[in-house]
Every structure is written in C-alpha cells, then in structure tokens.
C-alpha cells in the first residue's frame, strides 16, 4: 500500500515538473492574399516588402497551445509558437531566419495582448500585429471594418490590404507507418539481392 502511494506521489511530481517545451501544440498554415494596394510607390522607392501586386500570395505557419482550442471564443495574451511568415522580401519569424519581427503585439484589440478566435476547436482568426522595430514594418490582423480574416501591411512606401486564410496543414504520416515503409523497402532490397537471377555466374 505504501509503495503504491509513493508511486502515485512520484507520478504527480513528475507531471507537475514537465517543462514548457512539453506543451502540446497544434499547427496551422497561414496564407495572405493581397486584394488592395492603397499606397504603392514601387518601383520609384522600394521598402522592405519590395514590389507587391494585387493577387500576390504569401504563406507561413504558426502553432498554438492545444489546450486553448478546448474553449470557443477570443483567447487573449496567447503565445504564437513556431511562427514564420515571409511577406514580400520581409521575413517575420520566431526562428533564426527572422529579419523584421521585433514583437507580436495586440493588433486591433487596443487594450489586449495578441489574441486569436477559436470556433469549433480550431483557430479561425488572428487578432495580432507582427511589428518591426519602431512598429514599422508591420502586418496587422485586426479584422478591418468588422470584416473577418483581413490584414493590413505597411512598410512606409507600401500599404497593402487583403484576406487571411488559416487552415490545418495536411497531416503527416505517423511515425510507425514511415518505419514500416522503410522496413518493407529494406526487405525488398535484400530479396532482390538474394535472387538467383542477380547472382554472378561462377567461374568455370
């Protein structure tokens, strides 16, 4: 009985001591499509975004804590993990390839921190701003004019708006399936190698 209690206590202690890196994360693909260039001086003066055109699409990704998906609604002050987005010539990233991301701020929610809206257990909209130094260049995701899934991007000479698409990435094959595929390939290779037709003829 005492041993059982000790095992339970040890298991609880281990559970509460898990590091933040053990968080369960859910990933999303992020696509920005320009549908309006309100200000565009390209090619006279090119900012950090470079030359943009209506119809240009830029893709990236981010992850959120999976536990935040259990409750629908706007989740405030939430981290965006594994963020990476290249917009024109500017890369915003929480990784080593970052060029312009200085902070992820509140976006359209003035008194709030970064947020996103969950519906049906999925992230469906961002309320945040990917800000550069001195807040420029930036990409805002506040849902302009009450419209859902809109963004604005400003680097000085260029001011663009467009639509945002957030979607779950295509599922990767599970590790066990990849392992079985690899083993099957090895077995086929060994069988072919042992086949009589592939053996070298003996010298007379």
Distance separating alpha carbons of residues 98 and 48, to the nearest angstrom = 13
pLDDT tens by residue, 180-193: 656 666 565 556 56
142 Ramachandran zone, left/alpha/beta (phi>0; psi -120 to 50): alpha
The SS3 assignment for 158 reads strand
Distance of CA 84 to the CA centre of its chain: 6
The enclosing H or E element of 58 equals: strand 57-65
The Cα–Cα gap between 20 and 198 comes to: 54
Please report, for the chain, the start and end positions of each structural domain, with discontinuous segments joined by +: 23-167
CA pair distance 36, 33, nearest whole angstrom: 9
- Burial environment of residue 150 by CB neighbours within 10 A (0 to 12, 13 to 18, 19 or more): buried
Whether residue 19 is predicted with pLDDT greater than 50 in this model: the reply is no
To which H or E segment does residue 100 belong? none
Tokens standing for residue 116: 């996103």
Angle at 52 between CA 92 and CA 145, to 5 degrees: 75
Task: Name the more confident of 143 and 21.
Answer: 143
Could you give the percent of the chain with pLDDT greater than 90? 50
How far is it, in rounded angstroms, from Cα 50 to Cα 204? 73
**What is the reported pTM?**
0.72
Are 115 and 124 within 8 A, CB to CB?
A: no
Model confidence over 91-142: pLDDT tens digits? 999 999 999 999 998 765 545 568 899 999 999 999 889 999 888 999 999 7
């Amino acid at each position: 009985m005492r041993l059982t209690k000790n095992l339970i206590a040890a298991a609880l202690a281990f559970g509460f001591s898990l590091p933040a890196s053990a968080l369960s994360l859910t990933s999303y693909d992020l696509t920005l499509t320009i549908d309006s260039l309100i200000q565009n001086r390209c090619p006279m003066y090119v900012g950090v975004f470079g030359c943009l055109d209506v119809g240009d699409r830029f893709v990236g990704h981010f992850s959120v804590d999976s536990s935040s998906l259990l409750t629908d609604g706007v989740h405030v002050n939430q981290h965006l993990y594994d963020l990476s987005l290249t917009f024109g010539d500017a890369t915003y990233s929480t990784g080593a390839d970052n060029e312009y991301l200085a902070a992820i701020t509140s976006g359209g929610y003035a008194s709030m921190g970064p947020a996103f809206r969950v519906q049906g257990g999925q992230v469906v909209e961002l309320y945040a701003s990917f800000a550069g130094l001195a807040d420029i260049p930036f990409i805002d995701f506040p849902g302009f004019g009450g419209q859902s899934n809109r963004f604005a991007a400003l680097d000085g000479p260029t001011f663009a708006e467009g639509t945002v698409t957030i979607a779950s990435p295509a599922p990767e094959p599970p590790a066990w399936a990849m392992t079985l595929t690899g083993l099957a390939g090895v077995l086929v290779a060994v069988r072919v190698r042992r086949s009589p037709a592939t053996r070298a003829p003996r010298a007379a």
